Amino acid sequence: MKVEIIKCLEDNFSYILINEANRNCCVVDPGEADPIINYLQKNKLNLKYILNTHHHHDHVGGNEELKKKFNAEVIGYIGDKNRIPQIDICLSDGDIWKKDIFEAKIYHVPGHTIGHICFHFFKNKLIFTGDTLFSMGCGRIFEGSYEQMYNSLQVLKNLDKDTKIYCGHEYTLKNSEFCLSQDSNNNELLNKIREIKEKIKQGKTSMPSTIGEELNCNIFLKSNDLENFKKLRDLKDNF
Ligand code: ZN
Ligand code: FE
């Protein structure tokens, strides 16, 4: 399975997951349809599945057009079946979703929204974290509680360290400034910032990260108690 990173809207990432043997593919969080359609047509791919991490418009904005054009199925969290446009397949925490070569375990990770999920492609050792875990940050708490978000991050912390992370936004450098303000002597953080700046200079994105790198650099993952996490989240909201 090949992963293509597609930039959407202002700073969103969508991802196209490709079975190179039969040209079938999935898209994760199509915030808009056009950049996805362009890529699919240029590369002669058949879109079969649309995977949504949560219902926010910048993650589902392309659902309707893509479904209509390619006759693809929309997959999302059962609790959000009334707010994910065009949903066909409803998943619950712990489910394994499997079609073609694509196989993901679903983690319900409330906090940013109460219906947020992550798709863990465990055989490929990669996870799509949407707006729950960013590189060097975590999502704002819009609907859930601090405790829910904290617990959701603990689930992700327990994945193998070499698991690749693909998140919903290019916030990495901005996030790193906050990490640095809290953790200025962290050499791993300083190294990662250098690497990311180099990648972006070359026209690449900061994706993917890994769980191991985030455990070393992401101040929200380094936080080991809820009170401290709350404090950090509030500070970041006003940073
Ligand atoms: Zn969101
Ligand atoms: Fe978002």
pLDDT in tens, 138-191: 999 999 999 999 999 999 999 999 999 999 999 999 999 999 999 999 999 999
Q: Which domains does the chain have, with CATH numbers?
A: 1-91 (3.60.15.10), 118-157+171-239 (3.60.15.10)
How far does the centroid of ligand 2 lie from the alpha carbon of residue 13, in Å? 9
Contacts of 156 (CB under 8 A, 6+ apart): 107, 109, 118, 127, 129, 132, 133, 211, 221
- Specify the pTM: 0.98
Compute, in angstroms, the gap from residue 54 CA to the centroid of ligand 1: 7
Residue 131 among the catalytic residues: yes
Q: Is 45 exposed, middle or buried (0-12, 13-18, 19+ CB in 10 A)?
A: buried
pLDDT computed for residue 122 by the predictor: 98
Confidence of residue 238 (pLDDT cuts 50, 70, 90): very high
At 6, the pLDDT band (50, 70, 90 cuts) reads very high
Contact call for residues 205 and 113 (beta carbons, < 8 A): no
Is position 58 annotated as part of the catalytic site?
yes
The contacts of residue 74 (CB under 8 Å, 6+ apart) are: 50, 52, 63, 67, 84, 85, 86, 87, 88, 89
pLDDT at 203: 96
Q: Is 55 a catalytic residue?
A: no
How far is the centre of ligand 1, averaged over its atoms, from the C-alpha of 140 (Å)?
Answer: 8
Q: Is 116 a catalytic residue?
A: no
Beta strands 24-28 and 46-51 are parallel
